[in-house]
Structure 1
């Protein structure tokens, strides 16, 4: 079962859903079937709009396919729950030397072949792993959890100067993307999208080690089926994160901050939140919280 690349654009006419499924026409069905049970990298080509064209931006494992019940000749490829992960760093189509990260799309140095236009592409194992490593590489000043221990072993993951050597003994993707690695990558992606500031208060403290004190919160927790996607994340200060997780705060689809009747210190909360009771969205439209996750939180967590 070979690994692959799926092209997915923000303005696509297809019913793609970040963290859940990929929508495609029948012409690509056999290629997608070949990738069931293995991993794919998502790529933004820029066709139809998008602010980050020609970049690889996420990874997911394919669980299976199913026909689109509403449109004949189209299908869905479902991701294995919990497998989807937004990259902390988007990886450009080309390397600095002008060659392509996916060697299969390179006709000659600096020139692509026809594969680059296909919505579903194969990718060599070694190229997949290089893109995955670059997309999830650590940024010690941003990705690590809030702590002051200078001897923290996670600091050792900062290895941007180390040449890529490929997976050791065919390391499994699931092992490479363990929970700690996912949390660091998710944190970097979310904190970066919000500019290091809390979406509900504007606080943007940085501690003595140069790390942002704001936390990356899942709107729908991973244990409840939420993906490690920026559209399922919020940058929140510690107190606000605690209140959000316990249902004392929620958000409407348009960003209005909703407060629970169970809050017993409304005056202090008023001084903490933005005066207009509106969250501050990320600059990029595609990074904003998805209504599906906000609705789930209101229905399943929020204490009205």
Structure 2
């Protein structure tokens, strides 16, 4: 097993879905196969306007041929083992490249040393205090505290990848930044006296069902709305209109709370907006029509 860098860009001609699969040609097959069972880092090249640099980490489950294209393959991401960085990492930090053992920056798939991997993860997922603790960790019970074993020798192990608590903090931090700490359904941005946001980060498709820790699988929601969303009393359509279940017993009161537009307030960046794939899952599996 080995760590690696997978280059990804939103406007790519490849059929990537970073939280689920990475699409690549035969020339990179051997390099990708060495990463099976281990973690890779997604990198957005400097030519992309507003590049995020190193922006996520994921564990490769296996590699399968693309049945629709000869010479093409998919690296499938292990369910639940995709984590978007709360702090995207630039290529150069304090005047020095983050990848100090870089082989060839032109390769779309390239090996990553254990030391460079640990450095990128520690910068992208710092062990920091959360804006507010999540409240749904216990009731969701989505992931064991320990995942795949790491053997980094003298390099400090990136505990955030094996700790659900660390990953929840990173997910919440990333989602709240994308939504400017504002509830997507009510538009409220409530900050307490200590400067912490009231809003919570909700997974659209829970980790227990294979949902990733990605902003596109997240919503910033106030406590009451989060509770209703998790229980299927609220959902979103593909056009991001707010759907209210017939089982809600106070439609007038709820209508006064929700956005007057009838639609969710969205992050500025299109890539951070709820993905239709996850919204479809929530409507099919959670929403009480």
Shift of 1:121: 1.0
SS at structure 1 position matched to 2:101 = helix
For residue 138 of structure 2, what is the aligned residue in structure 1? none
Are the structure 2 counterparts of residues 286 and 214 from structure 1 closer, same or farther at C-alpha, using a change threshold of 3 Å? same
Are residues 1:102 and 2:91 paired? no
SS at structure 2 position matched to 1:207 = coil
Q: Deviations over 1:113-161 (max 9, x none)?
A: 7x11110011111111011011011443626447xxxxxxxxxxxxxxx
For residue 131 of structure 1, what is the aligned residue in structure 2? 120
Q: What does 1:59-70 align with in structure 2 at a 5 Å threshold?
A: 59-70=57-68
For residue 87 of structure 2, what is the aligned residue in structure 1? 89
Contact 1:215 1:238 in 2 (8 A): yes
Contact 2:5 2:41 in 1 (8 A): yes
Are residues 1:119 and 2:108 paired? yes
Are the structure 2 counterparts of residues 145 and 208 from structure 1 closer, same or farther at C-alpha, using a change threshold of 3 Å? farther
Aligned length: 274
| Distance in structure 1 (CA, Å) of the matches to 2:70 and 2:159 | 34
For residue 129 of structure 2, what is the aligned residue in structure 1? 140
Are the structure 2 counterparts of residues 17 and 244 from structure 1 closer, same or farther at C-alpha, using a change threshold of 3 Å? same
Question: Of 181, 187, 201, which aligns to 2:186?
Answer: 201
Contact 1:37 1:64 in 2 (8 A): yes
Shift of 1:218: 0.1
TM-score w.r.t. the length of structure 1 is 0.85
| Distance in structure 1 (CA, Å) of the matches to 2:156 and 2:17 | 28
Are the structure 2 counterparts of residues 225 and 240 from structure 1 closer, same or farther at C-alpha, using a change threshold of 3 Å? same
Q: Which runs of 5+ in 2 are unaligned?
A: 136-151
| Distance in structure 1 (CA, Å) of the matches to 2:2 and 2:245 | 49
| Distance in structure 1 (CA, Å) of the matches to 2:274 and 2:153 | 36
Are the structure 2 counterparts of residues 267 and 207 from structure 1 closer, same or farther at C-alpha, using a change threshold of 3 Å? same
Contact 2:79 2:212 in 1 (8 A): yes
Are the structure 2 counterparts of residues 141 and 81 from structure 1 closer, same or farther at C-alpha, using a change threshold of 3 Å? closer
Question: Of 175, 178, 199, which aligns to 1:214?
Answer: 199
| Distance in structure 2 (CA, Å) of the matches to 1:229 and 1:176 | 14
For residue 2 of structure 1, what is the aligned residue in structure 2? 2
Contact 1:141 1:210 in 2 (8 A): no
Question: Of 250, 258, 262, which aligns to 2:247?
Answer: 262
Shift of 1:58: 0.5
SS at structure 2 position matched to 1:132 = helix
Are residues 1:80 and 2:78 paired? yes
Contact 2:118 2:156 in 1 (8 A): no
Contact 1:89 1:136 in 2 (8 A): yes
Shift of 1:95: 1.4
Contact 1:194 1:281 in 2 (8 A): yes
| Distance in structure 2 (CA, Å) of the matches to 1:176 and 1:62 | 13
SS at structure 1 position matched to 2:266 = coil
Q: Which runs of 5+ in 1 are unaligned?
A: 106-112, 147-166
| Distance in structure 1 (CA, Å) of the matches to 2:240 and 2:74 | 30
TM-score w.r.t. the length of structure 2 is 0.90
